A and B are shown apart, each in its own frame.
Chain A
């Protein structure tokens, strides 16, 4: 409860700050300078454990293992909505057992694949006891896995595993065991940040170049830093804002960045797991992924085009599902016009319209909460204890949903909150949980759906296209986009001390033609990205 009301204050403050020029603070000086700790306001942070997604990505990038086994064995991450909020993580027997088994399996698969194993070796071993070669491997692999150079003592410590290679007469046994050990190292499983105390700012620490490389890589790739980035860190080339930004530009140019940006949207808009059969799920994810990629990476367009696009990347099945009048692609997927459908952009996608289902159908209330909390970052207070949210609204005279939900607005207490929620959802009612268009309630042919909705305080709309238009007019929308990205980037929710940064990011996003790739770069090239505040 305390957290919720605190978050509401943050949003309020952000909105105020944006609405009034005089309150804007933290305008950046000329770029290129070395970050300084003076007067940096930011919330505290701590060690983040790799999420299941990050774990599988990391293992793939470290040793080329694509089994993706972490998803099945590691404890489920809490999605609130992002999967990387470190404050929701807790160590457990299930975690360390999974980490051990996963490490053993990765090592076994590596040992069974000599070509892949050889590609990790910087040398050709002369025999099972070649300690120079093993140490050279430990040193190189350790820097990747633990995301910092190892000391000689640490290298020697890992090299003690060579005795097993000698026993077996196989050098590769030691290589596999070093991998097995490193994948269980706390500095592998957790992104531990230490840094050095910043002058004149108690409790603030300047991150090491390797820690900055790690933050960059997990934010933009969801994975471990590549060698070139660690080389930059080692060479002192991740010190200034410009250097950090340049590294981020290079990261954004590679495919993992597209996956990561897709994942941000999937978590934010609730479509990372879709409740549909395989073929439909595949089609919906393909459609939404294509639009995100086009707007952010290919066209580098105004981010609002994600919400206003007048065409969509669909296959024949989706054309049918959506009832589009345009001809379906002859085969596979193609960009098809939305013309004449009332659809626009990502909010018209079945992937996004899947969110907020309840009672086996769309829920106007849940969709209202979704729009308010996810897209406008408004805090929705939980219903009072006297409300049973598991009861479907009913009407004594009608089975039609629009009538049944009247019970929310005729009761004054309910209406206080529901007038801001239900009318938003009713504006999307003509689109079912897979985004298909419909004209009447499920199993109720006499209950016509008007599709009329109201975004209280902003305007009236009908359908996801018009809702997008209204959102784009809302002063909260841009702030909410940057706030959600902040949460994902830092792996935590904002505090009052983060308002300054979020305000600044929103301003530059707004002023810079709303380029999402630039927003990503603005996050990492703010001074605060190179510091942490002690919890």
Chain B
């Protein structure tokens, strides 16, 4: 560990000493991976949360799920939803935890208990699931910092990005309402001590530029390298100017505006530090990925006038989220290979998602409606098709990590990934239905990676336990020093050695 730190510092110091010009420097042999020093160092620990805005099973369908295996323990069976784990060959990296529940107000005299939720569904599970803090009403707000942000504070170290917060579903898609928190899965405590949401990046192109825009590919011609260096220096100067002006502006404002602009200033300062950071050395594994190209159009095709301008916003409920997911997963993988970040949250779909599923699963409705087809329509099987789309991308993330070697084996040996769903399947205290998708009974999630002794390739039944305990277990495996998440404490027995 100390060896590596010294090495990295020396290269950064070297680069800074050169006035930020990083081209044309000879790579010392010991800086390359596979060198004698590298072999002795431990890889960083990493933590990822991936979110699927669905429940486990559908309305009026007594089939619990096509997600949870029948077999308990090792060698579990793969039903429709988890079949992509088998197809990608990553099942040995994944443990399924099932049978969990989030308590509701109905069972506590009408008031949500600790770690519990209000009785009406859709988004009331967000706060207890992601932060372990009860939701006093059915609002979409999360009332405590989320697991990714708590861990980022401890894992980030000197990485350029404290965390990545990305969302695949590119828009809310309903024209007569607002998402009201359904679009958020990461919350942090800001510099004023308030719990605030972190709106996600939805543009893969923008994420690519921020992560890898300053990477100079090896062997690049001197003119290109000089142009890149020039642009980097202008970005820094411009941001420095914006920084100074924002800093002067804030105290001139009224109290509420001060708070508003202080948040903006904090983000400017963070961007400035990220742009000032020297890119890590490129190795046989850390390489600048291909530019994902322009983002797919938002909502479908745009109307275009004779001058080539967009004339109105059209909304067919789909922005090629399949491509967007692939791009984000590639970027997250490479960002972690290069140690630009150690924490990421990836919201594949929003809570109560209104993304059009037709292009993905040939289902002629939005994702939310898939769970509500109605009696006799095999809603659980329908939902599993959509879950499988989410799991396919989760499997692809695992596959990339598992095929990247690093000290200790592969990246999966140093990583904890958790795949969460919005709800479970069973009793809905709101409607009184026995089999409802509006339920936080029988919740399940996936955990992947072997960091900190996480056990993989198992199906564990954690009957009646709170799903935040899965997060706590994964967080602790990844090095978190706390023992609780919000109002929930304790790990899932058997999930960690």
Task: Report A's interface with B, CB cutoff 8 A.
Answer: 1, 44, 46-47, 66, 68, 71-73, 75-76, 78-81, 88, 90-98, 100-101, 103-104, 157-158, 160-161, 164, 167-168, 177, 180-181, 184-187, 189-190, 192, 194, 270-278, 281-282, 285, 354-356, 359-360, 366, 370, 382, 385-388, 390-392, 394, 534-535
Within 8 Å by CB of A271, from B175, B177, B205, B255, lies B175
Residue contacts A-B, CB under 8 angstroms, 14 given: A73-B206, A95-B199, A157-B245, A185-B245, A186-B261, A274-B175, A276-B314, A278-B301, A282-B312, A356-B176, A386-B430, A388-B121, A391-B59, A394-B374
Which residue of the partner chain B has the closest CB to A205?
B254
Check if A90 sits within 8 Å of B369, measured CB to CB: no
A-B residue pairs, 7 tightest by C-beta = A273-B315, A535-B256, A385-B120, A78-B178, A91-B264, A388-B431, A270-B176
Q: Which of B17-25, B149-157, B432-440, B474-482 contacts A (4 or more CB under 8 A)?
A: B432-440
Q: Is there a chain A Cβ closer than 8 Å to B39's Cβ? A: no
CB distance from A265 to the nearest CB of B (A): 13
In the assembly, what is the distance between CA of A387 and CA of B233, in Å? Answer: 58
Once the chains bind, are B271 and A93 in contact (CB under 8 Å)? yes
- Segment touching A, from B235-243, B394-402, B454-462: B235-243
Which range contains the number of B residues in contact with the other chain? 35 or more
The stretch from B303-311, B408-416, B484-492 touching chain A is B303-311
Question: Given A66-B307, A72-B295, A96 and B238 touching (CB < 8 A)?
Answer: no
Chain A residues whose C-beta falls within 8 Å of the C-beta of B203 in the assembled complex: 72-73, 98
Find chain B residues with CB under 8 A from A394 CB.
374
Question: Cβ of B378: which chain A residues have Cβ within 8 Å of it?
Answer: none
Is B303 within 8 A of A94, CB to CB? no
Taking a contact as CB atoms under 8 Å apart, the answer to whether A158 and B241 are in contact is: yes
Is B209 an interface position by the 8 A CB rule?
Answer: yes
Contact A180 B238 (CB under 8 A): yes
Q: How far is the CA of A356 from the CA of B241 in the complex (A)?
A: 47
Closest A residue, CB atoms, query B265: A186
Task: Give the Cβ gap from A511 to chain B, nearest Cβ, in Å.
Answer: 32
Q: Given that A90-B263, A93-B198, A100-B235 are known contacts, is A78 also in contact with B256, CB under 8 Å in the complex?
A: no
* B268 touching A96, Cβ below 8 Å: yes
- Residues on the B chain within 8 Å of A46, using CB: 254, 256-257, 260
Among B180, B310, B369, point to the contact of A359 (Cβ < 8 A). Answer: B369
Contacts of A1 in B (CB 8 A): 137
* Cβ of B252 to closest chain A Cβ, rounded Å: 7
Q: Which residues of chain B are within 8 angstroms of A273 by Cβ–Cβ distance?
A: 175, 299, 313-315
Q: Please name all residues of chain A whose beta carbon is closer than 8 Å to the beta carbon of B244 when the two chains form the complex.
A: 157
Q: What are the residues of chain A within 8 A of B256 when measuring CB–CB?
A: 44, 46, 534-535
User: Do residues B176 and A76 form an inter-chain contact, with CB atoms below 8 A?
Assistant: no
B201 contacts the other chain (CB 8 A): yes
Q: Which residues of B contact A387 (CB under 8 A)?
A: 120, 430-431
In whole Å, how far is B245's beta carbon from the nearest beta carbon of chain A?
Answer: 6
Q: Which residues of A contact B313 (CB under 8 A)?
A: 71, 272-273
Most buried by A among B255, B372, B429: B372
Which residues on B sit within 8 Å (CB–CB) of A392?
372, 374
Chain B contacts to A: CB under 8 angstroms:
59, 118-122, 137-138, 165, 171-172, 175-180, 183, 196-203, 205-206, 209-210, 230, 233-235, 237-239, 241-242, 244-246, 249, 252-257, 260-261, 263-268, 270-271, 295, 297-299, 301, 303, 307, 309-317, 364-365, 368-369, 371-372, 374, 428-433, 436-438
Given contacts A186-B249, A273-B299, A390-B59, 13 further A-B contacts (CB under 8 A): A47-B257, A91-B267, A95-B199, A100-B235, A190-B261, A194-B253, A360-B365, A385-B118, A388-B433, A388-B438, A390-B437, A534-B255, A534-B256
Chain A residues in 8 Å Cβ range of B368: 390
Q: A72-B298, A104-B235, A535-B257 are in contact. Are A97 and B241 (CB under 8 A)?
A: no
Task: Give bound CA distance, A79 to B260, whole Å.
Answer: 20
Per the bound structure, the CA–CA distance linking A81 and B490 in Å amounts to 43
A336 to chain B, nearest CB (A): 22
**Which residues on B sit within 8 Å (CB–CB) of A186?**
242, 245-246, 249, 261, 264-265
Identify A76's interface contact among B171, B177, B230, B237, CB under 8 A: B171
Which residues of A sit under 8 angstroms from B432, Cβ to Cβ? 386
B235 and A388 form a contact (CB under 8 A): no
Chain B residue at smallest Cβ distance from A533: B254
| Interface contact B267-A282, CB-CB below 8 Å | no
Given contacts A46-B256, A72-B203, A184-B242, contact A93 B270 (CB under 8 A): yes
Bound-state Cα–Cα, A192 to B260, Å: 11
Report chain B residues within 8 Å CB of A158: 241
Structural contact, B252 and A194, CB atoms closer than 8 A:
yes
Of listed A66, A275, A282, residue having the most chain B CB within 10 A: A275
> Which residue of B267, B303, B316, B369 contacts A92 across the interface (Cβ within 8 Å)?
B267
Could you say which residues of chain A place their CB within 8 Å of the CB of B246? 185-186
Task: Given A385-B118, A388-B436, A390-B438, check contact A90 B197 (CB 8 Å).
Answer: yes
Per the bound structure, the CA–CA distance linking A155 and B428 in Å amounts to 63
- Cβ of A114 to closest chain B Cβ, rounded Å: 19
Nearest CB of A to B299, in Å: 6
Chain B residue with Cβ nearest A93: B267
Complex interface: chain B residues within 8 A of A97 (CB): 201, 206, 210, 271
Q: How far is the CB of B495 from chain A (nearest CB, A)?
A: 32
Give chain A's interface secondary structure class.
loop
> Taking each of B122, B175, B200, B257, which has the highest tally of chain A beta carbons within 10 Å of its own beta carbon?
B175
Question: Residues of B contacting A281 with CB < 8 Å?
Answer: 303, 312, 314
The complex places the Cα of A92 from the Cα of B264 at a distance, in Å, of: 7
Q: Name, among A186, A194, A270, A534, the residue most crowded by chain B CB atoms within 10 Å (CB to CB).
A: A186
Cα-based distance from A356 to B175 in the complex (angstroms):
9
Which residues from B are CB-within-8-Å of A92? 198-199, 267
Which one of A72, A185, A391, A534 lies within 8 Å of B242 (CB-CB)?
Answer: A185
CB contacts (< 8 Å) of B266 on chain A: these are 91
A186 to B266, CA, bound (A): 12
User: Known interface pairs A80-B178, A161-B238. Does A47 touch B261 (Cβ–Cβ under 8 Å)?
Assistant: yes
Residues of B within 8 A of A168 (CB): 230
Contacts of A180 in B (CB 8 A): 234, 238
Chain B nearest CB from A134 CB (Å) reads: 14
A164 proximity list for chain B (CB < 8 A): 230, 233-234, 237
B261 (CB) vs chain A CBs: closest residue: A186
Contact of A181 among B178, B242, B369, B433 (CB under 8 A): B242
Contact A391 to B177, CB < 8 A, known contacts A100-B235, A100-B239: no
Partner of A47, one of B209, B253, B295: B253
Closest chain A residue, CB of each to CB of B432? A386
Contacts of B198 in A (CB 8 A): 92-93
CB-defined contacts of A388 to chain B, threshold 8 Å: 121, 428, 430-431, 433, 436, 438
B20 to chain A, nearest CB (A): 14
Q: Contact at A177–B200, with CB atoms within 8 Å?
A: no
Measured CB to CB, the closest approach of chain A to B146, in angstroms, equals 14
Alpha-carbon separation in the docked complex, A44 to B255 (Å) = 12
B374: shortest Cβ distance to chain A, in Å?
6
A189 CA to B307 CA, complexed, in Å: 27
Looking at the complex, which one of A47, A98, A192, A282 makes contact with B311 (CB distance below 8 Å)?
A282
Return B450 CB to nearest CB of chain A, in Å: 30
Distance from B139 Cβ to chain A, minimum over Cβ atoms (Å): 9
Contact B255 A535 (CB under 8 A): yes
For B315, list chain A residues within 8 Å (CB): 273-275
Which residues of chain A are near B121, meaning CB under 8 Å? 388
Please give the distance in Å from B99's CB to the nearest CB on chain A. 24
CA distance A90 to B364 in the complex (A): 35
* Residue from the set A71, A93, A271, A359 with the largest chain B CB neighbour count within 10 Å: A93
The distance in angstroms between the C-alpha atoms of A47 and B249, with both chains bound, is 12
Is there contact, CB below 8 Å, between B176 and A355? yes
Say which residue of B205, B239, B310 sits within 8 Å of A71 (CB atoms).
Answer: B310
Chain B residue, CB-CB nearest to A285: B312
Is the beta-carbon distance between B431 and A181 smaller than 8 angstroms? no
Residues of B within 8 A of A91 (CB): 260-261, 263-264, 266-267
Known: A387-B431, A390-B438. A94 touches B257 (CB 8 A): no
